[in-house]
């Protein structure tokens, strides 16, 4: 929460009349090296400002522990943790002025309003093209915004009682696989959170063009998942798209659950389709990995592989166990290759995993697990 009162920054207690005034410490967080370099160059034209930079929120958080900045400038779309989540963590743990500089948050848009509601003091819209030129042309604006942000009085947001923690029961009942017709294909369901954008890139890039369909839940805000899917589509041999309601799953395809909606896999005869539904937060998330995994347990049973990757919390651990109990092979990313070992650790602790593997081996194991064995009735892919 930001008030309109803008008191001057207090002088350092260690300062003396003859000492140089303390510099304003600004931390720039952006995954673009160009943006970081240009912002640093612009801000350092003001000798009263000291600038540091980080390529993602996790690196920024480590820097903030060593030296507390006066102002943070952050993008919204970044690897390992999105900007809105980073903003929420700052406001919850150590409130300070945050300026959003992003191409996804034009003033007046829902994303810009959400950033302001979460505590940002200002939003600067960054163009998709010509960013360097835009920043140089907006140097005066950028400097003015930084000094205005530094003088903003940040009031900690009041704590609100957390809503009840819901399980996948809130979206669909746990059901045994009861289809008489066998599905025409196998599928892979994957879930990730913090650090998942890079982990999914490695995982999906290892999929061959004729791989079984993959359905993914990555904890990510609305409006981000389409850009994420488009980026992966350019880097992978398979087609990667943001999921739409009713899409039929096909070999050589990966579907990313859209932000702020749950994704479920259901049967349509011998085919699998993905359904996109609104609904309550499940395991504190929407989309929820638990919801996806439960739907796959019921619709695909042993004709599926479940993969749980890096991420905070425990979303997906319960659902992965349900997949395993339905006959699916289940895989967790190991601690050494995880950015955050929370979700995989919870799944392992519940006995939900058949394999615990480093990131680079997960795709191969998923594909091998779906190959037909002569002593097994698993589907051939």
Active site residues: 193, 219, 315
Q: Which residue has the tokens 């960054």?
A: 126
**Three-class HEC string of the chain:** CECCCCCCCCCCCCCCCCCCCCCEEEEEECCCHHHHHHHHHHHCCCCCEEEEEECCHHHHHHHHHHCCCCEEEECCCCCCCCHHHHHHHHHHHCCCCEEEEECCCCCCCHHHHHHHHHCCCEEEECCCCCHHHHHHHCHHHHHHHHHHHHHCCECCCCCCCCCCCCCHHHCCCCCCCCCCCCCCCCEEEEEECCCHHHHHHHHHHCCCCCCCCEEEEECCCCCCHHHHHHHHHHHCCCEEEECCCCEECCCCEEEECCCCCEEEEEEECCEEEEEEECCCCECCECCCHHHHHHHHHHHCHHHEEEEECCCCCCCCHHHHHHHHHCCCEEEEECCCCCCCCHHHHHHHHCCCCCEEECHHHHHHHHHHHCCCCCCCCCCCC
Query: C-alpha distances in angstroms, 137 versus 50, 112, 173?
Result: 21, 22, 56
């Amino acid at each position: 929460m930001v008030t309109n009162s803008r008191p001057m920054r207090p002088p350092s207690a260690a300062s003396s009349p003859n000492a140089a005034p303390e510099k304003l410490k600004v931390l720039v967080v952006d995954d673009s090296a160009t943006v970081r370099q240009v912002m640093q160059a612009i801000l350092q034209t003001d000798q009263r400002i000291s600038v540091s930079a980080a390529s993602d929120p996790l690196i920024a958080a480590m820097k903030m522990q060593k030296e507390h900045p006066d102002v943070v400038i952050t993008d919204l779309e970044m690897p390992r943790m999105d900007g809105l989540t980073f903003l929420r963590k700052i406001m919850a743990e150590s409130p300070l002025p945050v300026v959003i500089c992003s191409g996804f948050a034009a003033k007046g848009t829902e994303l810009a309003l959400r950033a302001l509601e979460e505590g940002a003091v200002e939003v600067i819209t960054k163009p998709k093209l010509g960013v360097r030129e835009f920043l140089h042309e907006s140097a005066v604006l950028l400097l003015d915004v930084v000094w205005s942000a530094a003088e903003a009085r940040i009031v900690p947001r009041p704590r609100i009682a957390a809503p009840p923690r819901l399980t996948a029961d809130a979206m669909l009942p746990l059901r045994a696989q009861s289809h008489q017709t066998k599905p025409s294909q196998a599928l892979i369901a994957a879930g990730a959170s913090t650090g998942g954008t890079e982990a999914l890139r490695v995982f999906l890039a290892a999929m061959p063009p004729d791989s079984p369909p993959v359905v993914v839940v990555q904890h990510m805000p609305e409006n981000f998942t389409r850009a994420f899917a488009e980026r992966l589509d350019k880097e992978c041999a398979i087609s990667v798209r943001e999921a739409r309601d009713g899409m039929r799953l096909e070999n050589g395809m990966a579907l990313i659950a859209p932000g702020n909606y749950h994704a479920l896999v259901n049967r349509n005869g011998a085919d699998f389709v993905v359904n996109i539904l609104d609904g309550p937060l499940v395991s504190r998330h929407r989309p929820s990995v638990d919801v996806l995994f439960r739907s796959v347990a019921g619709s695909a049973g042993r004709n599926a592989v479940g993969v749980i990757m890096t991420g905070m919390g425990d979303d997906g651990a319960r659902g992965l166990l349900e997949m395993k109990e339905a006959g699916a092979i289940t895989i967790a990313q190991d601690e050494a290759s995880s950015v955050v070992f929370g979700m995989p650790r919870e799944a392992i602790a519940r006995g939900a995993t058949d394999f615990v593997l480093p990131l680079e081996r997960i795709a191969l194991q998923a594909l091998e697990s779906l190959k037909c064995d002569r002593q097994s009735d698993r589907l051939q892919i």
